Every structure is written in structure tokens, then in C-alpha cells.
């Protein structure tokens, strides 16, 4: 019998930003964060994990180590603290289980092979590490059937989410938020051992289903300063980050970081405002806080010594466009609505624009008018576009049954002076919406050979 | 006898940034600031003010109002609070003087004509309003001979600086710092009436004469958000600006802003660090604080709702170049020096790079290598270049007697990966150094027809 699990995990895009660790080993953050989980039908990481005594080395002798491939390229597990820690902690849990239940299948001692595949470009500010580590954690949990003994999973074949979120966090902080659908908080917690620093679902994807997202791919190049290095430089040197977190100065002792303080976690802070906005489905507040959080994150990056910068001129053109659009919406509704679109930027130049379903078509047409694609833009490995795919595909049918036929235009009353910008500044628009948490395709007794990204030969499939 | 005064006033470039007023009428700042006064041989505002009973209107009847021209274009004084206030306060002082001394020449009731000319492009982030209002204030003070009765002028024919700085401040906040040479603080003060919010010289231009400045003109377009509007939006909405100023929240009451608090004026804040660095001629600290202050100013602009942005991709390329250069300097001096160049950006994309004389040639050659001028770049009204002038002129003779012959190059050990950038990103380099305060060419009994920018006909000269 093959012991194999295959899961997909979604991307999440934060609207209250995670930037900074108070403990770099345990990945304990300096402030809480909150994100929207995006539909994984289009953007996701797929991971297959297999434990197999029959794995062979290239020379035909029995395999004696774990192996892992990302998008077909083998990664070294030994020496990569994150992969190593995640795998060894999951294996330790399985070992403990097998010791408790002598009739359990002996999986813990078998070599592992893991293949993971992203449906979008890696390390371009699209939170690939979040979905990737969430998928890795979920795949191992399904393979080892951790639901049977971790305390937080009531139903069989369900992943024990709160326990897993603490493990996923140690791979990549924001990965814990990709373990649930809808709107997910990552509470910073108070304890030094991190036991209360976990993901918590604010509302599931059915709560506010008309929350849509438009990803504007400005550049898919790898970023200059990694998030991991950048955020710790900010913690160590930025007085404004200290103020954001409510600690007296940069480099404050770990114990100085606490819930209940600062601009995010303090009374009336952005976490409280955002949770309340989501529960009430108040888009105006959601948008105001999301944009302020994005800007404040980039502000503390800029306040770092030396400064860190992820937004480029194209990013700022998108900010100008959305700001002008919101001004127009406020005018035509005579102030009944303040915002119909909310931009947010992670550690890269790409924007994600949140909007309600009823406004999405107008916003997409506006973005297509202001940011024309470059002539002949099509298949492009850097933007993740497949052969035959166009820079915008009407996947969610906002342009009706015929699909998108090139429509683009500014709304009535649009002020001159903002755009149109040079063709090619935005390379691709991806329209998606809020979605559910990870899906288990193989594991808990099921198989799905088509979904698996690790082939029967023990090597990643060519995708 | 013609009653006329002509003065020049220098540009100043802040190294501790002024951004925000706690009183918009009196121009009282939310924090103290500190600047370097640049040599006015090249960059300056020249202003001529004349009081004359013989001025005629275009129809030949006697003139009954004050008139003012900036760079040859007439400005409306009535309705421009700043011009109006500056002129009326100076005239009120003269009136008072004439009432006290009945033998004084009656100037206060005569119509005024004022012409002002900048030697560089206006409103492009080169602090033209600072030198302009400083020159206006100084010219009126010289015309009205305010030195004879304002308390702070010991010598005849010297401007009464502390008193004037409170008047200049009301034209443009940073103008008060252009009334003195060398290194000048503008103390925020504590009183609601602004009587202690004045300029103060930290050290004159002879204290640290090898302090040089290289202005990198990235764009001379007018800025999108004026400083006046931008800074008050920041005060009203930015939590990070509140933290910078040590007040509890954006929009805090005026009385909440006080010396002794916040990241600038608080204990160990940037004002104290910078004053100390200047007194000790400690370039490492000067550079570190100057760059941190520039970045923090742009960070609080970014934290504004909606965000304000002055630095563009070219500005950031300059940041990358200077950061890499400083890393190289630290390496080759084995950490004896941390910085040999310090960038700062005002409310625009242009950089000013401070450096010591001994490093200036290497830095200029580096900038010329990384930021090649566009082909054929020469006379350009937007950058203030005159016909026949090249984008870089070796005004201070760093390339020896032959002058600059196109030398450009990176220092030994320069890391690949930063630049060279596209030709034309930097349009012009201006090399200058620390300089003295305003110069009075006409007034106090002297005349200098060649320097005057107002002609004998009562209209601005064509320059």
C-alpha cells in the first residue's frame, strides 16, 4: 500500500500586515496580522508527500534520506532550518503516535519524498512561501494522519488546524493563515514559547462571498531584500516600527512585545478595526484600514537603516489610480460610500486590489484602460502565464458569457491627470475571490493520481 | 534719493526634517529641524525691494498698491496670505519706528515694488520657497533699516536675525533657516504665540568648510502634492508622525506638541544627535542621522491617508548607489568609517548628497558613471540649465585646472549589481558647499545697480 497525501493550500493576502518577529526561531511576530484567503482554484500550492520503504537512491541502493522538490527543482533539506524543522516536528508527532498505538502503520521511520508546485511565480511578492509551507504542513499531517491524535480535529479526515498552524508558522510566519479559508487572524500571542501564537478564523469564505481580489502583476522578478532579512532589519533599527508595535525603541527585549499595545494590537488598533469591519461586512472600513496598513508597512520598511523598498513607480501609479477612483465613487454617491477599491502591497511591487463583486467590472475596465498591456504580451514565464493564456482572462465571468473581448475604459466623470500609463507597466491582471482553506485530495485512505505532483517513480511530475 | 535694498539669500537643505505645523497661521512646527546653508554664489534667491512715491500705474496715475514679481511674473499680493502678512508686518515695524523717531525718512506709507529671482527652478524640491521668503524678509528689513531698532542686531548694517527669523517663518517655515549661514537649527519652541520658535545658528560656515553637497536633479517638474498641503494631511492622519512628534495620536491638540518629546526633540533624539555630530565634525553620525531623517520624513508621508510620495524610482536608485558606496567605504577602511556620503530628499525626487571635500571627486565620478546624462543633454529650462552649460560643471575645481573632461568611473572594488542606470535618470549634477547667510548688496546707504533685479523703470529686469 502506498502511503501518500496530496493537498492544495491557498494564497493569503494580508490586510493587517505581518512584519517583524520577536522570536526568530519560533517565528513569533511583533504584532498580530489578518488576511483574506484567496480562491485556490487558480492560485495555490499543491504538495504531495510520500513515505515509502521502496525509495531507491540513483545507484539503486535503498534511500536513506528525505528529499524535496519545489517546482521540479530539488532543495536541500539538511541545512535549511525551515524544511528540516517542519519535517522533523511532524515526524516526531508520528513517532509518538506509533509508540502509543502499537498497531499503527510504521511510517515515521520511512524516508519521505515531497514534491510541491506553485501555480504562480515564486518569490515575487505573491506570498508563495505562505501557501507552500501551509501545503507542506497539511500534506504531512494528512500523510501521518495527525487528525487521529492531535486534539483539535473533531471529525475524521479533517486537519487539526490550530495545532498545525503553530507548526506551519515555523516554516513561514504567514503560512499559518493559509490553513483556513475566509478571513483569518494570526494572533501574536503573549507566551515566550509561542503556544498562543496561532491562526484563528474570523469568518469563513461564505460570510462575505462577494469579496473579490484583482492581482496586478507589476513585475515577477525576485525581490532584492527577502522578507525574512528585511523584517528583522526593521525590528532592529526602525523607531517607527517600535511605535507601531508599542515598544519603547528598536531592538526592545522580546518580552516588551505584547498584545494590547501599539497601533495594531492596542485598543482601537487596526486589528480590532479590521475584525469588526469584516464581521459587519463594512467595506469602507475594510478598505480604509487595509490601505493604511499597507502604507504603514511600507513606511516602516522605509524607516529601516538602510531603507527597504518594495513598491516601485508602477505600484505608485496603481495607488494614484485607486485613490482617484475612490474619490470619484465618494463624489457620485455623495459621500454614502468612501471607498470601492482597496489596494494592498506585500513585499514586492504587485498590487492586490480588494473590491466587492458589484464594483469589480468597473474596476477591471478602469485598470485595463489605465495600464494597457504591452503589445503582444502573452506567454511569459516571469508572470506565470501559460502558453495561449492572455494577460487578463475573465475567469469569473464578469464580462458575461462571451468573456472578455478587450473592453477597457474609465468610468464617467473620471478625472484626467491619472493615467493612462505606459503599456506594459502592469503585465497581468488576475481576478479571484475569497476562498476556502486547504483541500486534501489524497490521504485518509483516498487516492487521486491526477492531483498528485509526485509521480509513481518517486520523482516530481513534469508540470 | 532712491530707497531700495537688494539682497541674496541662500538655499538650505534640511538634515533633520521639518514636516508638519502645530499652528498653520503662525507656522509653528510639530518638531524642530536643522539644515545646512548652501553656498549662494550659485544657488540663491535675489530680491530687490523699493519704496518710491514716484511709482506710476500703467495709465500714468500714481501707484496706490504694492506689487511683486517672481522670476519676472507678477504675483497677486492681496489674497496671498503669506506675501501679505510678511509685507504688512514689516511695514508695521517701520511705521512704529517712524512714529518713535520723527526725523526718520517716511517710507512706511510709500508703495512697494519687489522683484525676486531664483537662480534655479522653482517648486522642484530645491527649497525655492525658503530662499525666496528669506530674501524677501531680508530685503524689506534692509529697505526699512530695521537693524536700527530691532533688538537683535548689534552692528549697523547687519540684519536683526532672530527677530527676522520669526517673520520669515511665517512666509515659509524653512525660510527662517536660510537667514543664517553654516548649520542652522529651527527650534520648535513651546509658546503658543511662537515667540520662541526661531532659527539658531549651530555653527557658521567656517566651522566645517569641507562639508560639500552634490545636488542630483532627477526631475524638475512641479510636485503633485505641495508641501503645505501634504504636511498638514500627515499631521491630521499619520499615526507614525504622531509617534515621531511624541503626541498621542494624529490630530492631537496644539498644546500636545512640545520640545523634549518624540523621536526628533526627545532625549537622545535626532536634533540632539545631529547638533552634537556637527559640533564634533563627526561625519559618520551626521550621515547616519541625515539619511535616517530623510527616510523617516518620507515614511510619515507614506503613512498619510491617502499616502504622499515624493521619491521616485530614480531617487531610489540614488539611495541604492549611496548605500552600496558606503558599504564599500566601510570595507576598505575596515570599519574605521561607516559612511562617506549621505543622501537626503526633500519634498521632491531630487537628492542632495552631503560628503566631505576629500571624498567628493570619487563620489562625483561614481554618480556620473552610474547615472549617465542623456545624449545631447544641455540647455534645459526644467533643470535650470543655461545655454552652453553642461549637466555637470566643475565649479569647485575638483578635477583640477583643466576642469571636467568627462571623467566618470566606479571606485575599485565596486560591486556589480548597482547601476549603471538608464541615461537621463539624473539630468544634472550641481556641486556646491556650505555657505554663509544672506548678503545685503543694496541698503544701509549702499547701491549696486548691477545686482538689483528691479530696474530703474520700476519693473523687473529681464534675466
Query: pLDDT band for position A382 (50/70/90)?
Result: low
Going by C-beta distance under 8 Å and a sequence separation of 6 or more, which residues neighbour residue A413? A328, A331, A332
Average confidence (pLDDT) over A48-58: 95
Query: pLDDT band for position B123 (50/70/90)?
Result: very low
Query: pLDDT band for position A445 (50/70/90)?
Result: confident
pLDDT at B169: 86
Interface test with B, best of A225, A237, A291, A303 (most B CBs within 10 A): A303
pLDDT at A161: 75
Taking CB atoms and an 8 Å limit, are A291 and B306 in contact across chains?
A: yes
Residue A313 DSSP SS3: helix
Interface pTM, i.e. ipTM: 0.92
B319 and chain A in contact, CB less than 8 A: yes
Say if residues B149 and B97 touch (Cβ distance below 8 Å). yes
A309 and chain B in contact, CB less than 8 A: yes
* CATH fold of the domain at A3-207: Ribosomal Protein S5; domain 2 (3.30.230)
Query: pLDDT band for position B378 (50/70/90)?
Result: low
Ranked by mean pLDDT, which of B194-203, B273-282, B413-422 comes out on top? B273-282
How far is it, in rounded angstroms, from Cα A45 to Cα A114? Answer: 13
A225 and chain B in contact, CB less than 8 A: no
Sheet of strand B351-356: strand arrangement:
B342-345, B351-356, B211-217, B428-433
Query: pLDDT band for position B396 (50/70/90)?
Result: very high
pLDDT at A289: 98
Going by C-beta distance under 8 Å and a sequence separation of 6 or more, which residues neighbour residue A49? A4, A5, A6, A112, A113, A114, A136, A139, A140, A142, A143, A454
Produce one character per residue of B213-248: b if its CB has 16 or more CB atoms within 10 Å, e if not.
bbbbbbbbeebebebeebbbbbbebbbbbbbbbbbe
Placement of cell 525655492 in the chain: B128
B16 Cα to chain A: minimum distance (Å)? 14
A288 and chain B in contact, CB less than 8 A: yes
Taking CB atoms and an 8 Å limit, are A306 and B323 in contact across chains?
A: yes
Instruction: Identify which of B291, B303, B323 has the shortest CB distance to residue A296.
Output: B303
Query: Residues of A numbered 332-371 whose beta carbons fall under 8 angstroms of chain B's beta carbons: which are they?
Result: none
Average confidence (pLDDT) over A396-420: 91
B240 and chain A in contact, CB less than 8 A: yes
Residue A311, pLDDT above cutoff 50:
yes
For residue B309, which residues of chain A lie inside 8 Å, CB to CB? Answer: 316, 319
For residue A323, which residues of chain B lie inside 8 Å, CB to CB? Answer: 306
Instruction: Identify which of B240, B304, B312 has the shortest CB distance to residue A240.
Output: B240
Q: Please, where are the H alpha helices in A2-72?
A: none
Taking CB atoms and an 8 Å limit, are A288 and B305 in contact across chains?
A: yes
Query: pLDDT band for position A154 (50/70/90)?
Result: very low
- CA distance from start to end of chain A: 25
Average confidence (pLDDT) over A76-82: 83
Say if residues A220 and A427 touch (Cβ distance below 8 Å). yes
pLDDT at B416: 77
How far is it, in rounded angstroms, from Cα B215 to Cα B392? Answer: 10
- Enumerate the domain spans of chain A: 3-207, 212-433
B305 and chain A in contact, CB less than 8 A: yes
- Average pLDDT of chain B is 91
For residue B305, which residues of chain A lie inside 8 Å, CB to CB? Answer: 288, 291-292, 295
Going by C-beta distance under 8 Å and a sequence separation of 6 or more, which residues neighbour residue A77? A65, A66, A67, A68, A83, A84, A87
Three-state SS across chain B?
A: CCEEEEEEEECEEEEECCCCEEECCCCEECCCEEEEEECCCCCEEEEEEEECCCCECCCCCECCCCEEEECCEEECCCCCHHHHHHHHHHHHHHHHHHHHCCCCCCCCCCCEEEEEEECCCCCCCCCHHHHHHHHHHHHHHHHCCHHHCCCCCCCCCCCCHHHHHHHHHHHCHHHHHHHCCCEEEECCCCCCCCCCCCEEEEECCCCCCCEEEEEEECCCCCCCCCHHHHHHHHHHHCHHHHHHHCCCCCCCCHHHCCCCCHHHHCCCCHHHHHHHHHHHCCHHHHHHHHHHHHHHHHHHHHCCCCCCCCCCHHHHHHHHHHHHHHHHHHHHCCCCCCCCCEEEECCCCCEEEEEEHHHHHHHHHHHHHHCCCCCCCCCEHHHCECCCCCCECCCCCCCCCCCCCCCCCCCCCCCCCCCCCCCCCCCEEEEEEECCCCEEEEECCECCCCCCCECCCCCECCC
Residue A192, pLDDT above cutoff 70:
yes
Average confidence (pLDDT) over B213-227: 79
How remote is the C-alpha of A328 from its chain's centroid?
Answer: 31
Taking CB atoms and an 8 Å limit, are A288 and B302 in contact across chains?
A: no
Instruction: Identify which of A292, A299, A305 has the shortest CB distance to residue B300.
Output: A299
Report the chain B residue with the minimal C-alpha distance to residue A288: B305
- Average pLDDT of chain A is 91
Report the chain A residue with the minimal C-alpha distance to residue B316: A309
pLDDT at B223: 62
pLDDT tens, residue by residue, A232-261: 999 999 999 999 999 999 999 999 999 899
pLDDT tens, residue by residue, B50-108: 999 999 998 999 999 999 999 999 999 887 788 888 899 899 999 998 998 888 899 99
B154 and chain A in contact, CB less than 8 A: no
Query: pLDDT band for position B155 (50/70/90)?
Result: low
Interface test with B, best of A291, A295, A425 (most B CBs within 10 A): A295
A241 and chain B in contact, CB less than 8 A: no
Average confidence (pLDDT) over B192-204: 93
pLDDT at A222: 62
Instruction: Identify which of A240, A244, A298 has the shortest CB distance to residue B296.
Output: A240
Query: pLDDT band for position B149 (50/70/90)?
Result: low
* CATH fold of the domain at A212-433: Alpha-Beta Plaits (3.30.70)
How remote is the C-alpha of A252 from its chain's centroid?
Answer: 28
Placement of cell 523584517 in the chain: A231
Nearest to B56 by CA among B4, B107, B113: B113
Instruction: Identify which of B263, B303, B316 has the shortest CB distance to residue A295.
Output: B303
Taking CB atoms and an 8 Å limit, are A313 and B313 in contact across chains?
A: yes
Choice between B23 and A154, residue whose per-residue pLDDT is larger: B23
Taking CB atoms and an 8 Å limit, are A319 and B306 in contact across chains?
A: yes
Instruction: Identify which of A302, A305, A313 has the shortest CB distance to residue B302.
Output: A302
A312 and chain B in contact, CB less than 8 A: yes
Instruction: Identify which of B240, B288, B319 has the shortest CB distance to residue A299.
Output: B240
A71 Cα to chain B: minimum distance (Å)? 27
Residue A454 DSSP SS3: strand
User: What one-character DSSP code corresponds to residue A418?
Assistant: S
How remote is the C-alpha of B11 from its chain's centroid?
Answer: 4
Residue B150, pLDDT above cutoff 70:
no
Residue A105 DSSP SS3: coil
Choice between A231 and A41, residue whose per-residue pLDDT is larger: A231
Say if residues B188 and B199 touch (Cβ distance below 8 Å). no
Q: CA A236, A260, A127 angle in degrees (round to 5)?
A: 55
Interface test with B, best of A240, A262, A288, A311 (most B CBs within 10 A): A240
Query: pLDDT band for position A119 (50/70/90)?
Result: confident
How far is it, in rounded angstroms, from Cα A440 to Cα B161? Answer: 76
Average confidence (pLDDT) over A97-116: 93
pLDDT at A165: 84
Going by C-beta distance under 8 Å and a sequence separation of 6 or more, which residues neighbour residue B463? B72, B117, B453
How far is it, in rounded angstroms, from Cα B217 to Cα B214? Answer: 10
How far is it, in rounded angstroms, from Cα A14 to Cα A293? Answer: 9
pLDDT tens, residue by residue, B427-463: 999 999 999 999 999 988 888 999 999 999 999 999 8
Say what percent of chain B tops pLDDT 70: 93
Peptide bond into B192 cis (omega under 30): no
Residue A328 DSSP SS3: helix
Taking CB atoms and an 8 Å limit, are A244 and B240 in contact across chains?
A: yes
Choice between A138 and B121, residue whose per-residue pLDDT is larger: A138
Average confidence (pLDDT) over B158-172: 79
pLDDT at A123: 41
CATH class entry, domain B3-205? alpha beta
Taking CB atoms and an 8 Å limit, are A307 and B300 in contact across chains?
A: no
Say if residues A217 and A125 touch (Cβ distance below 8 Å). no
pLDDT at B154: 47
How far is it, in rounded angstroms, from Cα A443 to Cα A441? Answer: 7
B296 and chain A in contact, CB less than 8 A: yes
Placement of cell 518710491 in the chain: B52
Average confidence (pLDDT) over B16-20: 97
Nearest to A289 by CA among A344, A363, A364: A344
Residue A237 DSSP SS3: helix
Residue A153, pLDDT above cutoff 80:
no
A243 and chain B in contact, CB less than 8 A: yes
- CA distance from start to end of chain B: 25
Q: Which range, of A315-324, B84-93, B142-151, B436-445, averages the lowest pLDDT? A: B142-151
> Residue A213 is placed in which grid cell?
481580489
pLDDT at A331: 96
Going by C-beta distance under 8 Å and a sequence separation of 6 or more, which residues neighbour residue B346? B13, B14, B17, B125, B126, B127, B310, B352
Average confidence (pLDDT) over A263-273: 97
Residue B147, pLDDT above cutoff 90:
no
pLDDT tens, residue by residue, B253-263: 999 999 899 99
pLDDT at A124: 47
Average confidence (pLDDT) over B142-153: 72
Say if residues A168 and A144 touch (Cβ distance below 8 Å). no
How far is it, in rounded angstroms, from Cα A279 to Cα A261? Answer: 22
Instruction: Specify burial of residue B27 (Cβ count, 10 A radius: 0-12, 13-18, 19+).
Output: buried
A316 and chain B in contact, CB less than 8 A: yes
Query: pLDDT band for position B121 (50/70/90)?
Result: low
pLDDT at B158: 64
Average confidence (pLDDT) over B194-210: 94
Average confidence (pLDDT) over B374-403: 79
How far is it, in rounded angstroms, from Cα A200 to Cα B210? Answer: 59
Say if residues B249 and B301 touch (Cβ distance below 8 Å). no
Taking CB atoms and an 8 Å limit, are A313 and B309 in contact across chains?
A: no
B306 and chain A in contact, CB less than 8 A: yes
pLDDT tens, residue by residue, B274-320: 999 999 999 999 999 999 999 999 999 999 999 999 999 999 999 99
Report the chain A residue with the minimal C-alpha distance to residue B240: A240
Say if residues A153 and A144 touch (Cβ distance below 8 Å). no
B300 and chain A in contact, CB less than 8 A: yes
Taking CB atoms and an 8 Å limit, are A319 and B309 in contact across chains?
A: yes
Report the chain B residue with the minimal C-alpha distance to residue A307: B295
Amino acid at each position: 500500500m502506498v502511503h501518500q497525501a496530496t493537498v492544495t493550500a491557498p494564497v493569503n493576502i494580508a490586510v493587517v500586515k505581518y512584519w517583524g518577529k520577536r522570536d526568530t526561531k519560533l517565528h513569533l511576530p511583533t504584532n498580530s496580522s489578518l488576511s483574506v484567503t484567496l480562491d485556490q482554484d487558480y492560485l495555490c500550492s499543491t504538495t504531495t508527500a510520500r513515505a515509502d520503504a521502496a525509495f531507491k537512491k540513483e545507484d539503486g541502493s535503498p534511500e536513506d534520506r528525505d528529499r524535496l522538490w519545489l517546482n521540479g527543482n530539488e532543495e536541500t533539506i539538511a541545512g535549511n532550518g525551515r524544511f528540516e524543522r517542519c519535517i522533523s516536528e511532524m515526524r516526531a508527532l508520528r513517532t509518538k503516535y506509533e509508540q502509543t498505538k502499537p498497531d499503527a502503520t510504521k511510517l515515521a521511520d520511512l524516508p519521505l519524498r515531497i514534491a510541491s508546485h506553485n501555480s504562480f511565480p515564486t518569490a515575487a511578492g505573491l506570498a508563495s512561501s505562505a501557501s507552500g509551507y501551509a501545503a507542506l504542513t497539511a500534506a504531512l499531517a494528512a500523510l501521518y494522519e495527525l487528525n487521529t491524535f492531535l486534539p483539535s480535529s473533531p471529525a475524521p479526515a479533517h486537519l487539526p488546524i490550530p495545532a498545525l498552524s503553530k507548526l506551519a508558522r515555523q516554516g513561514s510566519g504567514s503560512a499559518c493563515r493559509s490553513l483556513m479559508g475566509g478571513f483569518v487572524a494570526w494572533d501574536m500571542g503573549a507566551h515566550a514559547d509561542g503556544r498562543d501564537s496561532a491562526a484563528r478564523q474570523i469568518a469563513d469564505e461564505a460570510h462575505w462571498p462577494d469579496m473579490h481580489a484583482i492581482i496586478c502583476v507589476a513585475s515577477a522578478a525576485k525581490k532584492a531584500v527577502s522578507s525574512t532579512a528585511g523584517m528583522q532589519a526593521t525590528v532592529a533599527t526602525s523607531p517607527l516600527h517600535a511605535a507601531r508595535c508599542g515598544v519603547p525603541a528598536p531592538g526592545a527585549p522580546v518580552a516588551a512585545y505584547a498584545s494590547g499595545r501599539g497601533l495594531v494590537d492596542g485598543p482601537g488598533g487596526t486589528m480590532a478595526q479590521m475584525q469588526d469591519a469584516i464581521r459587519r461586512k463594512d467595506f469602507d472600513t475594510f478598505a480604509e484600514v487595509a490601505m493604511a496598513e499597507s502604507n504603514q508597512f511600507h513606511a516602516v520598511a522605509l524607516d529601516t537603516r538602510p531603507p527597504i523598498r518594495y513598491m516601485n513607480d508602477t505600484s505608485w501609479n496603481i495607488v494614484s489610480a485607486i485613490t482617484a477612483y475612490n474619490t470619484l465613487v465618494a463624489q457620485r454617491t455623495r459621500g454614502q460610500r468612501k471607498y470601492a477599491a482597496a489596494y494592498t502591497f506585500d513585499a514586492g511591487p504587485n498590487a492586490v486590489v480588494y473590491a466587492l463583486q458589484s464594483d469589480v467590472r468597473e474596476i477591471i475596465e478602469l485598470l485595463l484602460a489605465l495600464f494597457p498591456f504591452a503589445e503582444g504580451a502573452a506567454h511569459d514565464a516571469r508572470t506565470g502565464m501559460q502558453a495561449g493564456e492572455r494577460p487578463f482572462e475573465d475567469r469569473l465571468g464578469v464580462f458575461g458569457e462571451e468573456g472578455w473581448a478587450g473592453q477597457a475604459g474609465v468610468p464617467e466623470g473620471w478625472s484626467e491627470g491619472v493615467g493612462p500609463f505606459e503599456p506594459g507597466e502592469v503585465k497581468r491582471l488576475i481576478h479571484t475571490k475569497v476562498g476556502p482553506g486547504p483541500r486534501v485530495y489524497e490521504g485518509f485512505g483516498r487516492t487521486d493520481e491526477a492531483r498528485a505532483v509526485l509521480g509513481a517513480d518517486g520523482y516530481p511530475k513534469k508540470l
